[in-house]
Amino acid sequence: MRRTFAVGDTHGCRHLLEELFARISPDPQQDTIVILGDFINRGPDSRGTIDLLLQFRERYRNFIVLRGNHEQMLLDYLAGLNRDFFLLVGGRETLTSYGVDPSAEADPDTWLPAEHRALLTDLPTLYENEHGIYVHAGLQPGVHLSQQSTEWLLWVRDEFIKSLYDFGKPVVFGHTPFADPLLTANKIGIDTGAVYGGSLSCLILPDFKFVSVSAAGRRWWPRS
């Protein structure tokens, strides 16, 4: 049986992502893996996390990496936009992982590997298969998947979470951290605060099984 493994927000915690994959062991040819975005910023090793995702993409046939708001902020930073905001919300830690002084105006072409830039610039914001709909932040009720706005896909919180709208399949999302996965009739939230000292979680469908690895209380970013 084909399964889908959806992985919540890693935020630069490469070691937790490695440990999680060692536990879940997806089938490289049959299973689908969906990374729900926000794999950079705030944590200790954003560069190493991207390196690991690139390795996984070579290993697993069906490996989907979605864009989160933090990946979008890095893309904006690379384009010269909202640079102070990026640094404020965890970008300093990302630049440091690349050996870049956050206070300097370093040319990204000198520090960002081409394969990292290629990954970041080619991230979809939405994925759907027979098991569910996968997105970083959420969906706008009553709007077709093809018409969803980037603002909702990457940034929404309560307006989506509190909605009772049925999209026809479970909507699996990250972005908003919970102490434990949020499981409702129409949505499943699996950001369990890895970078805040919580855990990194994976949802396996259609089993509706959760596998998590604990950060053991080690907190890299203050929980807001």
The residues that are catalytic are: 70
What contacts 90, CB < 8 A, 6 or more positions away?
A: 11, 12, 40, 41, 42, 43, 70, 221
Q: Are strands 32-35 and 171-173 parallel, antiparallel or unpaired?
A: unpaired
In the DSSP assignment, the letter for residue 87 is: I
In the DSSP assignment, the letter for residue 59 is: H
DSSP 104-157: S---HHHHS-HHHHHHHTT--SEEEETTEEEESS---TTS-GGG--HHHHHH--
Please answer whether residues 215 and 16 qualify as being in contact, where contact means their C-beta atoms are separated by less than 8 angstroms: yes
Return the residue matching tokens 């907190």.
Answer: 219
Query: Cβ–Cβ contacts within 10 Å for residue 79, how many?
Result: 10
